[in-house]
Copies of this chain bind each other. A is one copy, B any other.
Amino acid sequence: MQDLDQYTVTDATLAQMAQTPNPRLREIMDAAVRHLHAFAREVSLTPAEWLAGMKFLTAVGHACTPFRQEFILLSDVLGLSSLVNAMHDARAGEDGTQTSLLGPFYREAAPSHALGESIAGLSSGEEMVLFGNVLDAAGRGVPHASVQVWQTNAEGLYDLQLHEPEQMDMRGCFACDGSGAYHFRTIRPRGYMIPMDGPVGGLVQAQRRHGYRPAHIHFLIGAPGHRELVTALYLADDAHIDSDTVFGVSQALVVRPSLDLAGSPRPDLASIRYDFRLSRTADGGSGRVGADPSKILEPAP
């Protein structure tokens, strides 16, 4: 019998996992254990600190409900979600619109709207219009592409954060016309602090971070034969445009609403024009499936 020390325990763990039949699971868990152990050795983690970590992760798990996904929030504030997106974009090459965070507020089964309608059913604020095209990798319009949109209201809250989270608002699905064009109305979203009443908020406060995300509108865009696009547009004039707590902003996704914009279906309203470009189907989807907080609570496969 070998007595395990802080180095040999890593070898012993990897040896026990070496018979994993799924090669990708083996590869991922092998790397996870090596990096987890290297982390613990680097900081010389004490039992009391380890226990604080166990308590923190347990609290994160218990904060996850059908209307809230605290682990995705943790991934977001640690930069992991943004990193996964960046690698996903890099694999797809340069031809598609950059992705941005799905975030914890996506919901499947958002209501369908006709082009031109407003997603602000129960909320009021400064009216805006968004319009443009969904294009393929060669720059041609993608007929009837599906465009899902969700955002905060003028108070910086998603419907999931309101008193009746079952009721949907400030989200909807549109189908582009035969040339790939879309337009819809909404109200100006407001930037917001990530939820600060849970364990992730506690961490962000202990790190003296402001906790704000700049105002943005989420998009999930798809069409058969194209890679699904998860992205967001960020409003340039938000005070936190350069310091997003979850690292979702990139220059190409920053927009500035303006009046009298050429081509706007409603030039009397603050208008944003944005053309989205879909990549060809590449490495197995966007990761969207099941990210609805109410769906992620199923047991892991």
Binding site for B on A (CB under 8 A): 1, 3-6, 9-10, 12-13, 16-17, 19-22, 24-29, 31-52, 54-62, 64, 69, 71-72, 75, 78-88, 90-91, 199, 202-203, 206-209, 230, 241-243, 245, 247, 249-252, 254, 283-291, 296-301
A147: min CB distance to chain B, Å: 19
Asked whether B78 lies within 8 Å of A20 as measured between CB atoms, the reply is no
A79: which B residues are within 8 A, CB to CB?
Answer: 9-10, 12-13, 33, 37
A209: min CB distance to chain B, Å: 5
A296: which B residues are within 8 A, CB to CB?
Answer: 51, 54-55, 58
Q: A58-B64, A69-B54 are in contact. Are A39 and B31 (CB under 8 A)?
A: yes
> Which one, B3, B51, B56, B254, contacts A287 given CB within 8 A?
B51
A243: which B residues are within 8 A, CB to CB?
Answer: 16
A12: which B residues are within 8 A, CB to CB?
Answer: 79, 247
Asked whether A6 lies within 8 Å of B80 as measured between CB atoms, the reply is no
Q: Which residue of B lies closest to A29 (CB)?
A: B207
> Which one, B27, B43, B64, B254, contacts A43 given CB within 8 A?
B27
> Which one, B16, B199, B301, contacts A207 given CB within 8 A?
B16
Interchain residue pairs with CB less than 8 A apart (25): A6-B86, A6-B87, A9-B83, A9-B86, A10-B83, A12-B247, A13-B78, A16-B245, A17-B209, A19-B208, A22-B206, A25-B206, A27-B43, A28-B45, A31-B39, A36-B39, A40-B87, A47-B85, A47-B287, A48-B289, A52-B301, A57-B61, A58-B71, A58-B296, A61-B64
Asked whether B207 lies within 8 Å of A17 as measured between CB atoms, the reply is yes
A5: which B residues are within 8 A, CB to CB?
Answer: 86, 90
Q: At the interface, is chain A mostly helix, strand, loop or mixed?
A: helix
Task: List 17 additional A-B contacts (Cβ < 8 Å) besides A4-B86, A13-B247.
Answer: A5-B86, A9-B83, A9-B86, A16-B243, A16-B245, A22-B206, A26-B207, A28-B49, A41-B83, A44-B91, A46-B84, A47-B285, A54-B75, A55-B290, A56-B300, A57-B60, A60-B61
Q: How many copies does the complex hold?
A: 2
Complexed CA–CA distance, A41 and B32 (Å): 11
A216: min CB distance to chain B, Å: 14
Asked whether A36 lies within 8 Å of B33 as measured between CB atoms, the reply is no
A230: min CB distance to chain B, Å: 8
> Which one, B31, B52, B247, B291, contacts A51 given CB within 8 A?
B291
Q: Which residue of B lies closest to A39 (CB)?
A: B35
A40: which B residues are within 8 A, CB to CB?
Answer: 80, 83-84, 87
Among the interface residues A40, A245, A289, which one has the most CB atoms of the partner chain B within 10 A?
A40
Complexed CA–CA distance, A57 and B58 (Å): 9
Asked whether B64 lies within 8 Å of A62 as measured between CB atoms, the reply is yes
A68: min CB distance to chain B, Å: 11
Asked whether B299 lies within 8 Å of A19 as measured between CB atoms, the reply is no
Asked whether A287 lies within 8 Å of B245 as measured between CB atoms, the reply is no
